[in-house]
Amino acid sequence: MTEQASHTPRVFSGVQPTGNLHLGNYLGAIRKFVTLQHEMASMFCIVDLHAITVWQDPKALKAQTGEIAAAYLAAGIDPERAIIFHQSAVPQHAELAWIFQCVARMGWLNRMTQFKDKAGKDKERASVGLFTYPTLMAADILAYKATHVPVGEDQKQHLELARDIAGKFNLDFGAEDFFPLPEPLIRGAGARVMSLRDGTAKMSKSDPSDNSRITLTDDADAIAKKIKKAKSDPEVLPSEEAGLEGRPEAANLVGIYAALSQKSMDDVLFEFGGQGFGAFKPALAELAVEKLAPISAEMRRLMDDPAHIDRVLKDGARRAGAIAEGVLADTKKIVGFLGR
Ligand code: AQP
């Protein structure tokens, strides 16, 4: 039996409430959550502890937490089926993260490229939390013994670290198979949506240019304008994916069309091959509005009902806490802590 096979399948994933929730977050993560909730027990978290690894205005953080909950619900996550909650409401995340900080090695964390990217040149001024972020992410997943983690491609390295931490914990404490080695679910279209202004940089919440991303709260006009302004090239589209080699902006726009229409890149190019961006961009804008407008409208409706969001999050936190409490009690016994 593999380590994985002995654990009950469970999905865990999260999104940071850091504002500007965008198409990459939707296609790379949230849309997959909606499908997975029908396949396995699922937990979808709003990872506010992660958000504060860089400065967040407290009022904005609160509003953005509600916004992610609204996005989860508007996209189609059913709070009766999946558990929706915010990370800071379940203290076991932080508690397990501490234990994992003592399991993970400095060398492992030193290799994390996201820290290097986010800390920039002046690492001395980055928060310690930004450096230890992946140990908290491992704790988020393993506090529920989650086996499957749907994420965008940018999180692949952190997931590998979570597997290393789980494996080392099991080995160090002779607790074979206590924690599962969580599987990343990165497959499929939309795993890496790129900036509309630069096809070599990922679409990101923190890009200073609002035109670099389509956000889930953009209205139809804004979506159409951003796609019209998106960087492209003067060539016509090829009729096969291989022809997009060396054309990052073209590949990104075709990739977005493919992900939104749930078609293959080749099928999209079969339809649009030989046409230029003058024809392709309006088709993409129309498709993006068709798919995103109902979600934005529902998000706006839900954000006007904070009492409902509050009820969903409180219920989710209670259900999540009950699971994490049991896993933490066992973990602490294994580590050798005296019980209360
Ligand atoms: N461009 C993307 N394409 C596909 N998936 C993406 N994700 C993020 N960007 C893309 C996935 O969305 C989920 C939630 O992301 P997050 O909010 O937790 O983290 P993030 O990577 O910090 O988001 P941003 O937008 O990239 O923020 P900044 O600007 O701060 O770097 C994750 O599953 C992530 O993979």
C-alpha distances (whole Å) from 286 to each of 21, 218, 244, 256 are 20, 14, 22, 12
231 is catalytic: no
pLDDT digits (tens, 9 = 90+) for 274-321: 999 999 999 999 999 999 999 999 999 999 999 999 999 999 999 999
| Over residues 86-91, mean pLDDT | 98
Q: Are 9 and 148 in contact (CB under 8 A)?
A: yes
**Percentage of residues of the chain with pLDDT beyond 90:** 94
**Please, what is the end-to-end C-alpha distance for the chain in angstroms?**
35
**Beta strands 10-15; 41-46: pairing state:** parallel
Check pocket membership of 193 for ligand 1, CB cut-off 6 A. Answer: yes
The pLDDT of residue 239 is 95
Q: How far is the CA of 65 from the centre of ligand 1 (A)?
A: 15
User: What does the DSSP 8-state code read for residue 21?
Assistant: -
Q: What is the dihedral of CA 106, 109, 113, 115, to 10 degrees?
A: -100
Out of 205, 225, 263, 332, pick the active-site residue: 205
3-state secondary structure at position 117 = helix
Given ligand 1 and candidates 54, 205, 252, which is best to mutate, with the most ligand atoms within 8 Å of its CB?
205
Ligand 1 and 202: CB distance under 6 A: yes
Question: How many CB atoms are closer than 10 A to CB 81?
Answer: 11
- Ligand 1 centroid–CA 337 distance in Å is 36
Per-residue confidence at 25, pLDDT binned at 50, 70, 90?
A: very high
What pLDDT is stored for residue 4 in this prediction? 56
The yes-or-no verdict on residue 143 having pLDDT over 70 is: yes
Which residue's C-alpha comes closest to atom 27 of ligand 1? 205
**Number of C-alpha atoms within 13 angstroms, CB side, residue 20?**
15
Tell how far the Cα of 205 is from the centroid of ligand 1, in angstroms: 7
Q: What is the mean pLDDT of residues 93-120?
A: 96
Residue from 194, 193, 183, 115 nearest 150 by CA: 183
Q: Which atom of ligand 1 is nearest to the CA of 20?
A: 25
Catalytic site residue from 32, 145, 202, 291? 202
Q: Is 118 a catalytic residue?
A: yes
DSSP element (H, E) containing 60: helix 58-75
State the CB neighbour count (10 A cutoff) for residue 113.
10
pLDDT of residue 3: 47
Q: What is the pLDDT of residue 5?
A: 61
**pLDDT per residue as tens digits for the range 159-202:** 999 999 999 999 999 998 999 999 999 977 888 999 999 999 99
